[in-house]
Amino acid sequence: MADITYLEAGRLALAEEMDRDPLVWALGEDLGRGGVFKQYDGLQARFGANRIVDTPISEATIMGAAVGAAMSGTRPVVEMRFSDFALCAVDELVNQAAKARYMFGGQTRVPLVVREPIGMWRSSAAQHSQSLEAWYAHIPGLVVTVPATPADNYALLKAAIRSDDPVVHMEHKNLWALKGPAAETDAPAEFGRGVVRRKGSAITIVTWSAAVWTALDAAAAMGVEGIDIEVIDLRTLWPWDRELVLESVSRTRRALVMHEAVQAGGFGAEIAATIAEELHHRLDGPVRRLGAPRAPVPYAPPMEEQLKITAGDVCRAVKVALGAA
């Protein structure tokens, strides 16, 4: 299987879905020039300006137009450039797109994909570096996808485009250049299905997006010390794979939930609470969480580094969970 980058995988998924379904189209700022990260490079030349649409700089207008177009029967893919910028369009997404199917008694649906790049990347500072996945996982009516690999970016974006409900597809900016095996088939992924990235028996780490790679680095380091860590990549946060997590933790009897987003109020708290509620009688220790401090992301690289969750941080948290610190 040939390798492909995370960025190329997303572009390929969109192109294939546009070939398959003439109702699929994309809109956002600078898409004709390939998009801010070149995720759309060459697509306007291939599909035309009526299907790869350049818009004014107004996130609320972009989202509002897409919601109306989705309710009218098309399948728009909205590019928000940075998840931070999407906050200008939250009313259209949260109060309109997420609610319409329920409030109209199923007479209309909103088959809409919102691409929101997340995470710290090249000193992008406080307004371009946030990971806000927990906000959207909190909203009934929204699906939230957080791919960590090129194959998953491809398969989950395809699934998002084919979904009849609005999907917030959160790609991590620091993974654009990540190269890995392409998807084995052109089939869309299934929402709510996580995957075990590494088998282990000492503790289960539950994570998603770019943090998966940090967890795997930590697991490799701890493996040298004889500590065998299982790493679960959730792939989607809503729905999330409760069965996979609970089955794993019931075997390892210890759990650490880690993510790049701020720990306070993060989605890791939901997972940790679920594990505690369902498995408290089987655990050998409290469920641990690891996330970023509740602070704006600094511009200066040395200060930005202080907010990143590193493999060393994960190793220390694992040792605390195992009572070996």
Calpha distance 303→223 (Å, rounded) = 30
Calpha distance 115→78 (Å, rounded) = 6
Give every CB contact of residue 104 below 8 A, 6+ residues apart in sequence.
none
Place of tokens 């009572």: 323
User: Contacts from 299-302 at CB under 8 Å and sequence distance 24+?
Assistant: 299/123, 299/125, 299/126, 300/123, 301/123
Q: For this structure, is 259 an active site residue?
A: no
- SS3 of 152-170: the string is HHHHHHHHHHHCCCCEEEC
> Given 3-state DSSP classes, what are the helix, strand and coil percentages for the chain, each rounded to the nearest 5?
40, 20, 40
Residues annotated as catalytic are 128
